């Protein structure tokens, strides 16, 4: 991977983390959390969302490959299952 691509990827990941942090900051603020607790809730929600995303992406890949394997024939003479 080139150096320019690494910089772009780093910037995009930082933008994602900051946007999730600001979104969770807004949720905590509207929920009535004020003061130092607001920062704690923001980081808790931010890293919680990042952990959920880190689990959902591989799960989505596995689910899509399972669906592809279930609906495509393994032999050319077989008829694939039709999902309606």
Residue owning tokens 């990042």: 50
Q: Round to the nearest angstrom and report the end-to-end CA distance of the chain.
A: 42
User: Are the C-beta atoms of 71 and 80 separated by less than 8 Å?
Assistant: yes
Q: Other CB atoms closer than 10 Å to residue 16's CB: what's the count?
A: 13
- Nearest CA to 20 out of 56, 49, 40, 41 is that of 49
pTM equals 0.47
Res 68: pLDDT: 76
Lowest mean pLDDT among 21-25, 55-59, 64-68, 79-83: 79-83
Q: Can you tell me whether residue 76 is helix, strand or coil? A: coil
DSSP-derived letter for residue 61 is: H
Mean pLDDT of 5-27: 83
């Amino acid at each position: 991977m080139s150096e320019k691509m690494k910089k772009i990827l780093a910037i995009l990941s930082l933008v994602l983390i900051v946007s999730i942090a600001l979104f969770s900051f807004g949720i905590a603020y509207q929920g009535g959390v004020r003061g130092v607790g607001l920062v704690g809730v923001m980081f808790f929600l931010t890293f919680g969302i990042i952990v959920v995303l880190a689990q959902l992406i591989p799960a989505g890949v596995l689910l899509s490959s399972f669906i592809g394997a279930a609906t495509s024939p393994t032999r050319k003479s077989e008829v694939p299952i039709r999902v309606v």
